[in-house]
């Protein structure tokens, strides 16, 4: 299977984002994020910042003032929230297992 779009280097990904109107204040931070998180993972977080499609030739423009640092902050918030929820779920699940174990194995006094 051949892909229609060639893979872009991190530098070319940054260039593409800038061409689409995203402001990149710290290119090294943005490059690091793209290399370790990935363009397509972060894409889910910048979708709300895309402007309405006004033509087929420019389908992915960003709203004025969209910053990569904002997208990264939203990603980090979501990541920490997911970890917190997962941790709370594990704690609740562990408590449920403990209660179930205790109810099935009463202590004889």
Token couple for 109: 């006094």
pLDDT value at position 7? 87
Whether this prediction's pTM lies above 0.95 is answered by no
Give residue-wise pLDDT tens across range 50-93.
998 766 666 789 999 999 999 999 999 999 988 887 777 676 67
Q: Any idea which residue has 């904002």 for tokens?
A: 70
Domain boundaries along the sequence of the chain: 10-104
Rounded average pLDDT over 25-30: 97
Q: What is the pLDDT of residue 37?
A: 96
Q: What is the pLDDT of residue 74?
A: 96
Chain centroid to CA 73: how far? 9
Predicted pLDDT of residue 58: 64
């Amino acid at each position: 299977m051949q892909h229609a779009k060639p893979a872009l280097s991190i530098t070319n990904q940054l260039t593409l984002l800038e061409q689409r109107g995203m402001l990149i204040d710290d290119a090294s931070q943005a490059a690091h994020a793209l290399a370790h998180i990935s363009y397509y993972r972060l894409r889910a977080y910048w979708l709300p910042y895309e402007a309405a499609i006004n033509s087929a030739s420019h389908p992915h423009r960003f709203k004025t003032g969209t910053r990569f640092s904002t997208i990264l902050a939203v990603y980090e918030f979501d990541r920490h929230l997911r970890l917190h929820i997962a941790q709370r779920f594990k704690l609740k699940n562990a408590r449920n297992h403990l209660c179930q174990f205790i109810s099935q194995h009463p202590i004889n006094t």
